[in-house]
Chains A and B, each alone.
Chain A
Amino acid sequence: MAVELYLDLFSQPCRSVFMFAKKNNIPFEFKKVSLMDGEHYGDDFGKISIIRKVPALRDGDFCLSESIAIMVYLAEKFQTPDFWYPADLQQRARVNEYLSWQHTAIRMQGSKMFWLRLMIPKMIGMEVPKEKMDGALEDLNNSLNLIEEKFLQDRPFIVGDRMSLADLVAIVEIMQPLGAGLDVFDGRPRLSSWRDRVRTFIGEELFDEAHQNILGAQEGLKQIDPSKLELFKPKILRLFL
C-alpha cells in the first residue's frame, strides 16, 4: 500500500511535502483535503488527524501530522539523498535551526499577509485597519531581512552549496504573500536569485505546479462562495486581527 498524503496546495506546508515527495520519486496517493470547503473538519479526516490540519500522512496504520516530521520521516524511510537533511552534525543543526525559527517568524507573517491583504477583505468582507496592515508588513520585512542576513548570507542555499529541507520550507512561506499580490522579492535581489536557484533545483515544472493554486488565488476566489468562510471567521479574526 502506498503512503497517503493528505494535502491542499493552498497550504504552504502541504506544498513543501508535495514537492519533496515528487522530487524524490516517492510513491504516494494524493488525498485532497479542501480547506476552503472545511473538509479538514469532516469525520473522515478527523480519523487521520485529531489536530485537523494539513498536511497529514498515513502509512499503513501509522498517521503523522506536521510537515517537518513528515518530510524527515519520508527522507529516512525512502533514503533520500543526504543533502536534504545532512547527517553532518553542524549542517543538520543549521537545518534544524531554520526549521525551528520559521514557525513563529516567516510562517506566521506570510500567512498573516495573505489573510490581511486578500482573504479578509475579499472573502470575509471586512476592512483591515491600516495600522494592522503596516504592522504586519513591518514584521514580514523583518523576517525577510533575517532570512537574508542570518540564514542565507552569501551562500547559494541556507546550509551551503546544496538545497535542503530548510530552503524547501522557506520558499513556500515566502511565496504565500505573492498569492495576495505582494511581491516580496521586489527590491531583494539576493532573495530573488535564491528563489531562482531553488526553483531550478526542484524543477520548474514541479515548482510551478505546486504553486499554481496560490498564485491564482486572486482570480480563483472570484469563484468561491464567501459564505463558506463563515465557519472560520471567528478563528481567523482572532488569529490575525
Chain B
Amino acid sequence: MELYLDLVSPPCRAVYLFAEALKIPFEFKLVDLSAGQQYSEEFGKLSVVKKVPVLKDGSFVLTESTAILEYLVQKCSVADHWFPADLQQRARVNEYLSWQHLNLRSHCSKVFLLRTLYPFVMGSEVPKEKMDAAVEDMKQSLNLLEDKFLQNKPFIVGNKISLADVVAMVEIMQPLGTGVDGFQGRPKLMAWRDRVKKELGEKLFDKTHEAVLNSSGLQQKMQNNSELQKLKPLFIKYFR
C-alpha cells in the first residue's frame, strides 16, 4: 500500500499519524508541495484532483483523508474507539469530520497560508484587516471545538481517542510555526493536546510536525523554487 503525502499538509499528517501509530505497513511517497509536485503530469495520472493525501492499494486509488482514514479502519483490524461501532458515538465522529472541512480546517489553513504564502504570491505583506478577520474566524472555530465538540470530555467522543481528535489536532498545529498559537489561553485544549500526543506517541507526533513548524524554512524553499514561481497565478485567486 502506498501513501502519497507531504507532511506540511494537515490531512496528510492525520493519515500518517494514524497509519504509523497503528503500525499499518505502507510505502511513503513524497509529493513535495512547496516544489509544486502535485501539479506534475505524473501525479496528475494518479489523481486528477491534484491534491494530497492519496492512497494506492493495488489498483485502487483513493483521495480525501477522511475517506482514507475510514478505509484503513475498515480494512485493518483497529481498536473500536478509533471509529466506534456504537450508533451515537459514530455519529459524533462523523459530525466532527463533516463540520471541520469548512470550519476549523478552512480557518486554520487560511491563517497559515496568509502568513506563509501570501507575501510570496502577492509580493506584499498581508493587509492587517485580512489577517485579523482570518484569526477571528479561527478563534470562532476553536470556541466551537471547545464548547460543542470537546466540552468537558477527555476526547471528542468521550473517554477514548478517535479519528475526530487526530483530524482536529493536525489543523490547530498548522499555523503554530507562523506564530499563531491556537492553544494559547485555552488550557482545556492544551490538556487535550497532551492527551492526544500521549495516545499517538509523543516522538511520532513531534517528528510528524517538524516540517510545518519550521515555516521560515518553508518560505525559503518556495522563494528558491522556479517551478513554484510559475504557479503563482493559481494562488492569487485564493487570496483575492
Interface residues of A, Cβ cutoff 8 Å to B: 50-51, 62, 64-70, 72-73, 76-77, 89-90, 92-94, 96-97, 99-101, 103-104, 107-108, 135, 146, 149-150, 238
CB-defined A-B contacts under 8 Å, sample of 6: A50-B144, A50-B148, A65-B99, A93-B68, A100-B101, A101-B64
- 5 more CB-based (< 8 A) A-B contacts, given A73-B90, A92-B74, A103-B102: A50-B148, A64-B92, A73-B88, A146-B49, A150-B49
Contact B71 A100 (CB under 8 A): no
Give the top 10 A-B pairs by smallest Cβ distance, nearest first: A103-B101, A96-B67, A69-B94, A100-B64, A66-B98, A69-B95, A97-B67, A73-B91, A93-B71, A66-B95
B contact face: mostly helix, strand, loop, or mixed = helix
For residue B37, CB closer than 8 A to chain A, the reply is: no
Does any Cβ of A come within 8 Å of B128's Cβ?
no
Chain A nearest CB from B4 CB (Å) reads 15
User: Which residues of A have CB within 8 Å of B240?
Assistant: 135
Chain B positions within 8 Å of A104 at CB level: 101-102, 106
- Which B residues fall within an 8 A CB radius of A? 48-49, 60, 62-68, 70-71, 74-75, 87-88, 90-92, 94-95, 97-99, 101-102, 106, 133, 144, 147-148, 237, 240
Most chain A CB within 10 A, of B49, B75, B91, is at B91
Cα–Cα, bound, A90→B55 (Å): 12
Tell me the minimal C-beta distance from A109 to chain B in angstroms: 12
- From residue B96, how far is it (CB to closest CB) to chain A in Å? 8
* Given A68-B98, A89-B74, A93-B62, A62:B88 Cβ within 8 A: yes
A69–B66 Cα distance when bound, in Å, is: 13
Residues in A with CB closer than 8 Å to B147 are 50
A238 near B71: Cβ-Cβ < 8 Å = no
Q: Which residues of B contact A238 (CB under 8 A)?
A: 133
Choose one: A89, A94, A108; the contact of B75 (CB below 8 Å): A89
CB < 8 Å neighbour of B91 from A50, A69, A90, A108? A69
Residues of A within 8 A of B63 (CB): 97, 101
Complex interface: chain A residues within 8 A of B48 (CB):
146, 149-150
Are A77 and B87 touching (Cβ within 8 A)? Answer: yes
Question: How far does the alpha carbon of A99 sit from the alpha carbon of B62 in the complex, in Å?
Answer: 13
Residues B70 and A96 in contact, CB atoms below 8 Å apart: yes
Contact partner, A51, options B49, B60, B91, B144, Cβ 8 Å: B144
Q: Chain B: which residue is nearest A139 at the CB level?
A: B237
Distance between Cα atoms of A130 and B48 in the complex (Å): 29
Instruction: For the complex, give the distance between the alpha carbons of A200 and B71 in Å.
Output: 31
Closest chain A residue to B144 by CB distance?
A51
Known: A89-B74, A92-B74. A100 touches B95 (CB 8 A): no
How many angstroms from the CA of A72 to the CA of B240 in the assembled complex? 37
Asked whether, in the complex, the Cβ of A100 is within 8 Å of the Cβ of B66, the reply is: yes
Shortest B19–chain A CB gap in Å is: 15
Which residues of A lie under 8 Å from residue B97 when comparing CB positions?
Answer: 100
CB distance from B240 to the nearest CB of A (A): 7
| Residue from A51, A76, A90 within 8 A of B148 (CB atoms) | A51
Minimum CB–CB distance from B137 to chain A (whole Å) comes to 9
What are the residues of chain B within 8 A of A107 when measuring CB–CB? 102
CA distance A94 to B88 in the complex (A): 23
C-alpha gap A96/B83 in the complex (Å): 14
Closest to B133 in A: A238
Pick from A62, A73, A96: contact of B66, CB under 8 Å: A96
Query: B168 → chain A, closest Cβ, in Å?
Result: 14
